[in-house]
Amino acid sequence: SQTIHQWPATLVQPVGSPLSLECTVEGTSNPNLYWYRQAAGRGLQLLFYSVGIGQISSEVPQNLSASRPQDRQFILSSKKLLLSDSGFYLCAWSAIPGFSEAFFGQGTRLTVV
């Protein structure tokens, strides 16, 4: 069966420090991969999505970047964190665009201090 792993679960980082959140999927090939930020009152904001290795689409201008070095690995990064980067980040995957269910990771609570 397919599973999605996202880590770490919580992270406290100082302003100006780098960030790397990792997400891996098991049990499927060539998934679509997504990074979302979940904020109270703003719902789920799509940050990045990827339909293949090295293919990244960015949805909103921000201090973050994403990479997909392997088929089932999706990484969210920042070179220098801002206070406004604090939030709850969710990784997700789906098998077929449009018709397929998206499966979500447990999420990472990031606090920038």
Partner 1 sequence: AQRVTQPEKLLSVFKGAPVELKCNYSYSGSPELFWYVQYSRQRLQLLLRHISRESIKGFTADLNKGETSFHLKKPFAQEEDSAMYYCALSFGSSNTGKLIFGQGTTLQVKP
State which residue, 58 or 65, has the beta carbon closest to partner 1: 58
Cα distances (Å, whole numbers) of residue 22 to 17, 40, 42, 106, 111: 17, 23, 23, 12, 16
Asked if residue 60 binds partner 1 (CB under 8 A), the reply is no
**Shortest spacing between CB 113 and partner 1, in angstroms:** 25
Binding-site member from 44, 53, 71, 109 for partner 1 (CB under 8 A):
44
Binding-site member from 19, 21, 32, 89 for partner 1 (CB under 8 A):
32
Residues 6+ positions from 54 with CB-CB distance below 8 Å: 68, 69
Interface positions, 1-30, toward partner 1 (CB under 8 A): none
How many residues touch partner 1 under the rule CB under 8 A: the total is 28
